[in-house]
Amino acid sequence: MHLLRGVIQHYAWGTTSFIPELLGDAPDGQPCAELWFGTHPLAPSKVFVDSAWLPLTDLTGELDVLVKVLSAQYPLSLQTHPSGQQAKLGFLRETNMHVDAVQRCYQDDNEKSELLVALTRFEALCGFAPTDVSVHALQSLGCNIEADVLQTGGIAAYLAWAYSNQRPVSFINAPSWLNNLAQMYPHDASLRVAPLLNYVVLEVGQAISLPPGNLHAYLSGSGLEVMTSSDNVVRAGFTNKYIAVQELLDIVDTRVLVAPVQTPQPTGTTWQYQSPTSSFAVHKIEIDGVSHIAPASVHRILVCVDGSTDQLARGSAGVILPNESVALHGNARVFVCAGSR
């Protein structure tokens, strides 16, 4: 195993303390939103080889999995991500149109699927709730017109109507998470859409799976985010960044997501999460003494989030090359994130 040095992203919505404290550093007041481990060109990691820090690509080539520690003080945008085919078409279209990078939805031609595992209490919106539940929720908020539109036309028709409606929306008896969004973005059309989504509160170790098309927004908390190595984001609201409502309506998955929250299932000495794609897999290891990680045919990124081992301290990460094995001694919680190559 070779140690990795990740890259911190200082986005405005990040917390100031979680990631520095995870790394054993003193917070300096800057928002630290994400810590990236991978080969994505926006923030490629370094790897320790032969007493020197080198670009990770020198050792592994381009990886198809990207691992992030994410820590949100403020809500992230309401967004979705494309499938592989949608990404290829969108990237080609925006490239041929010479779209400015700031106004691009497609930064590459890769599918983007995600799995978010909570490292603290984590609040999010994830996927559409059953229509009858959403109708009742809208009625309880005093949004009777919205409830009628949803009940009559279904989710897809409701989304088209909501994003074409310029009338401000107001709520009665709104939950705190929705009040917070309304105070931050009082004129955002996505306020009409948020009540249709599953509001989830993850406890430590629980996860949400985000396949292409899943409409979601992270609201607060810290987690480990594992994804295909892509930066394709199609936003509809709750942000000052570029939004592309029509593009989102074209690719969003409006099917109901009945059970958005998952817990890992035991598989021998590890716990496995249900991945949204065959492109990556995520296991959790609770080490108490020694844990042996057997050889595999793919690259794997390991991240230690609690405790320490002889090779990985809290907040550190490493990469295991194909056909390599490793034994970790200590007491720690480690996530093993494998790509498909």
Q: What is the 3-state secondary structure (H, E, C) of the chain?
A: CEEEECEEECCCCEECCHHHHHCCCCCCCCCECEEEECCCCCCCCEEEECCEEEEHHHHHCCCCEEEEEEEECCCCCEEECCCHHHHHHHHHHHHHCCCCHHHCCCCCCCCCCEEEEECCCEEEEEEECCHHHHHHHHHHCCCHHHHHHHHHHHHHHHHHHHHHCCCCCCCCCCCHHHHHHHHHCCCCHHHHCHHHEEEEEECCCCEEEECCCCCEEEEEEEEEEEEECCCCCEEEECCCCCCCHHHHHHHCCCCECCCCEECCEEECCEEECCCCCCCCEEEEEEEEEEEEECCCCCCEEEEEEEEEECCCCCCCEEEECCCCCEEEEEEEEEEEEECCC
From residue 187, alpha-carbon distances to 168, 174, 183, 184, 198 in Å are 6, 16, 9, 9, 22
CB 325 within 8 A of CB 286: no
Mean per-residue pLDDT, 14-22: 98
* Percent of the chain topping pLDDT 70: 100
* Domain assignments of the chain as residue spans, ordered by start: 2-126+198-262, 265-338
Q: What CATH number does the domain located at 265-338 have?
A: 2.60.120.10
pLDDT for 26 beyond 90: yes
Residue 109: pLDDT over 90: yes
What does the alpha-carbon distance between residue 305 and residue 156 come to, in Å, rounded to a whole number?
40
Average pLDDT over residues 333-341: 97
Domains 2-126+198-262 and 265-338 agree in fold? yes
**CA–CA separation, 200 and 125 (whole Å):** 6
C-beta separation of 144 from 272 below 8 A: no
d(C-alpha 338, C-alpha 341), whole Å: 8
pLDDT > 90? residue 282: yes
The predicted structure's pLDDT at residue 62? 97
> Which pLDDT score is estimated for 269?
86
> What's the rounded Cα separation, in Å, for the pair 45 and 200?
32
Residues 40-67: pLDDT tens digits? Answer: 999 999 999 999 999 999 999 999 999 9
The pLDDT tens digits for 177-225 are: 999 999 999 999 999 999 999 999 999 999 999 999 999 999 999 999 9
* Spatial separation of the C-alpha atoms in residues 54 and 103, rounded to whole Å: 32
Distance separating alpha carbons of residues 271 and 282, to the nearest angstrom: 9
Mean pLDDT calculated for residue range 287-313: 97
Rounded to two decimals, the pTM is 0.97
Residue range 302-331: mean pLDDT, rounded: 97
Q: How confident is the model at residue 17, as a pLDDT?
A: 98
Angle 144-164/131-140 helices, nearest 10 degrees?
110
Write the CATH number of the domain with boundaries 2-126+198-262.
2.60.120.10
Residue 243: name the closest of 196, 187, 199 by CA. Answer: 187
pLDDT at 238 > cutoff 90:
yes
